[in-house]
Structure 1
């Protein structure tokens, strides 16, 4: 392999955005990706015969999300009439759906809890979510599950200050052909070297040496666009070691667990549109089970599970996972559901060696640690990824924007280096 001005490690949303920015600027660069595909956690699977987003699904903060305009430019459709904000709580079985008054009570409790931890963070309080709302409510299990899905971690382990910095502006729109497909289409034509994990980065000299199974790459500057949990797990060796303060910041802002199960049915669930909701069991000892119904009118049920409960479910066998899902489906729609399953597909991001988790959150008291990711390391290494975004962490567009910013920083680093005496 050759020498490059800039080497980008990782071809997820951040690495692809960095590569596209460098390509547009006419720079000499290479993008190295450990997987045999691009997109990272933004990946649309079609093995069920229809598009299913294994990871990222929603165009969050649609009014400021650049992928909305990218989708429009590429002619990819999204649904701007539904949002998981308008969650429909389902509980059927022999007792039928929850009464409207009860559903309103649940919605009010959830809204007040979300408002409470955002207000606490806005006031400068860097405390666990559970410090600012009532976990004694009978609806707390549902809130606990919801926060696990939003943050990929349990509420007692998440910083109010970090969460309050997230900028929500506009709706959350699902992409018809898949968010992963959108990310891939946007990067079409970008040269990416696949199946080439970087195992060691030697940044002791003037140039940076990247060791891979295909040989060594040298570069004047590096954009490190890999998931933060891979860095925490020493998935890449650094010589010399990264600064201890930065390593601690990684540990302060780890990724939790965010997984999915997709169940293909013989036909869509009748009587419902495109609904995002939860099954609440008659037995209060059983945790709620998330079910996303009929996405884009398709015969599909999708379950999202995160946090510690998601970690427990991720370790189950496929048969054990389907048994739980079937129990929820029967509770909601009757015993006939047992005959309607055609196929299923599930994710394992938490055990995927190139990911090792869902998306990042700051631990209570550690919100300031995320700020460190914006600074170059030793005038040679620039960080990119959703964990680097202050206003849009945990999102594809946050990763995308961080990649563009990282490309600009890397270019300025090599320009500054070129002016130094040898």
Structure 2
């Protein structure tokens, strides 16, 4: 549904380009490729100095790891399976590596407590399978509330390491509709794969967009290099950036679009990578250590994945936000302390460097990926509605059942490109 705004007729002035795509993440790349295939001239404006957005393979420590998206989810229908095959890039099934150990305050969790945790985690899927949310949406916390004050927080805590958000801020209806399927990994890096897919496109890096004017004969987009004019614009920046007002829209975004943004938040799934050289401390590569003494402060450690000199810590929700705001040095000290409690003091001495791409405080992300608030499950479709017939918002946030994934963002970018291709230049 287009915004109800009377727009002046386009004049004879030639636009600089047919379509401007803002953001060189998966959605932007997909839109640009499809527009190019349709014979439309498009440029991609990217604020960062690299392609890929929240799909980012970080090699700053030497051995690389995916600092953002890691899995090709629901591989049976995910377009990245075909893209990887066409580019000759290997994908393979997810592996659990060297096993899984659970700790409470740095000490191995008693088996009885561990089994109780496992049973509690399973309650989320069971409750969602049985729940009729067609008439009334709930938060995940409310959906699990009758499990009791001891079990309910444990049951919902697992979402901190998948959605990256507190359970009272997650729509059960939206979570219920998310697609499921097999997961694949990209040994050479999912972020590297996405970046490779940008080849052949007109991508302009280091060009953060500060303003979009859409009440004239065209769309005017302002960057540090100046103002470009186009017949249409596809905006693929994260919801967190749109909500922060980093891009000024003139006129302001329609009330329906603003309302949709109000119904969405950003999770804070976070990875903190430590370079740990030399001794393996008797730990099999790929073992997971989960510090689960507090349900609200889960921290999972991927120990020496694929034999690399890395330990990668994962956390989410308000815990991750606290560490992001505290900054790299505080985060390093905290994570190293947790490691020494589980492994011993020597592992702390073996930590030489760290990498901390904190998505929550990154001005070009402001979070890991979108989360629908309880009662606002329609926000994704509402955000995807065209604005004035010439501006289209697309990304993982508008991907419906594919939300929160690179594959979903890609499908959303293609949908937007198809809509733009129907507009006469």
TM > 0.5 between the two?
Answer: yes
- Deviations 1:207-253 (CA, angstroms, capped at 9, x unpaired): 11112221221111111111111111111111111111211111211
The correspondence for 1:42, drawn from 46, 55, 69, is 55
- Deviations 1:289-321 (CA, angstroms, capped at 9, x unpaired): 211222222221111111111111112233322
1:75 maps to 2:88: yes
Q: Which residue of 2 aligns with 1:158?
A: 170
Q: Give secondary structure in 2 for the equivalent of 1:401.
A: helix
Aligned length: 410
Q: Which residue of 1 aligns with 2:391?
A: 381
Q: Closer, same or farther in 2 for the Cα pair 1:296/1:71, shift >3 Å?
A: farther
Q: Which residue of 2 aligns with 1:207?
A: 218
Q: Which residue of 2 aligns with 1:270?
A: 282
The correspondence for 1:356, drawn from 349, 366, 370, is 366
Q: Give secondary structure in 2 for the equivalent of 1:62.
A: coil
The whole-number CA distance in structure 1 between the counterparts of 2:171 and 2:312 is 28
1:8 maps to 2:18: no
1:225 maps to 2:217: no
Q: Closer, same or farther in 2 for the Cα pair 1:194/1:285, shift >3 Å?
A: closer
Q: Give secondary structure in 1 for the equivalent of 2:352.
A: strand
User: Does structure 1 conserve the Cα–Cα contact (< 8 Å) formed by 2:273 and 2:313?
Assistant: yes
Q: Give secondary structure in 2 for the equivalent of 1:364.
A: coil
User: Does structure 2 conserve the Cα–Cα contact (< 8 Å) formed by 1:93 and 1:333?
Assistant: no
Q: Give secondary structure in 2 for the equivalent of 1:198.
A: coil
Q: Closer, same or farther in 2 for the Cα pair 1:173/1:294, shift >3 Å?
A: farther
Q: Which residue of 1 aligns with 2:316?
A: 306
Aligned-pair distance for 1:33?
A: 1.1
The correspondence for 1:244, drawn from 255, 271, 285, is 255
Give TM-score scaled by structure 2 length.
Answer: 0.89
Aligned-pair distance for 1:94?
A: 8.8
The whole-number CA distance in structure 2 between the counterparts of 1:83 and 1:243 is 46
Aligned-pair distance for 1:78?
A: 3.6
Q: Closer, same or farther in 2 for the Cα pair 1:201/1:280, shift >3 Å?
A: closer
Aligned-pair distance for 1:68?
A: 2.2
Give TM-score scaled by structure 1 length.
Answer: 0.89
Q: Closer, same or farther in 2 for the Cα pair 1:51/1:103, shift >3 Å?
A: same
Aligned-pair distance for 1:144?
A: 4.5
Q: Which residue of 1 aligns with 2:8?
A: none
Alignment of 1:387-402 (within 5 A): 387-402=397-412
Q: Closer, same or farther in 2 for the Cα pair 1:364/1:96, shift >3 Å?
A: closer
Aligned-pair distance for 1:12?
A: 1.1
Q: Give secondary structure in 2 for the equivalent of 1:367.
A: coil
- Deviations 1:352-380 (CA, angstroms, capped at 9, x unpaired): 11111111011111111211123211111
Backbone CA RMSD of aligned residues: 2.5
Alignment of 1:288-367 (within 5 A): 288-367=298-377
- Deviations 1:157-182 (CA, angstroms, capped at 9, x unpaired): 11001111111122x23322211101
The whole-number CA distance in structure 1 between the counterparts of 2:179 and 2:57 is 26
- Deviations 1:100-155 (CA, angstroms, capped at 9, x unpaired): x5433322210112331454365554111111214645465554442123222200
Q: Which residue of 1 aligns with 2:197?
A: 186
1:88 maps to 2:100: yes
Aligned-pair distance for 1:92?
A: 8.4
Q: Which residue of 1 aligns with 2:138?
A: 127
Q: Closer, same or farther in 2 for the Cα pair 1:339/1:138, shift >3 Å?
A: farther
Q: Closer, same or farther in 2 for the Cα pair 1:89/1:62, shift >3 Å?
A: farther
1:115 maps to 2:126: yes
Aligned-pair distance for 1:285?
A: 9.0
The whole-number CA distance in structure 1 between the counterparts of 2:141 and 2:104 is 30
Aligned-pair distance for 1:14?
A: 0.6
The whole-number CA distance in structure 2 between the counterparts of 1:232 and 1:379 is 21
Structure 2 unaligned spans of 5+: 1-13
Q: Closer, same or farther in 2 for the Cα pair 1:286/1:226, shift >3 Å?
A: closer
The whole-number CA distance in structure 2 between the counterparts of 1:376 and 1:7 is 15
The correspondence for 1:26, drawn from 11, 32, 39, is 39
Q: Which residue of 1 aligns with 2:5?
A: none
Structure 1 unaligned spans of 5+: none
Q: Closer, same or farther in 2 for the Cα pair 1:322/1:68, shift >3 Å?
A: same
1:66 maps to 2:79: yes
The whole-number CA distance in structure 2 between the counterparts of 1:311 and 1:118 is 31
Comparing 37-46 with 69-78, greater Cα deviation is found at 69-78
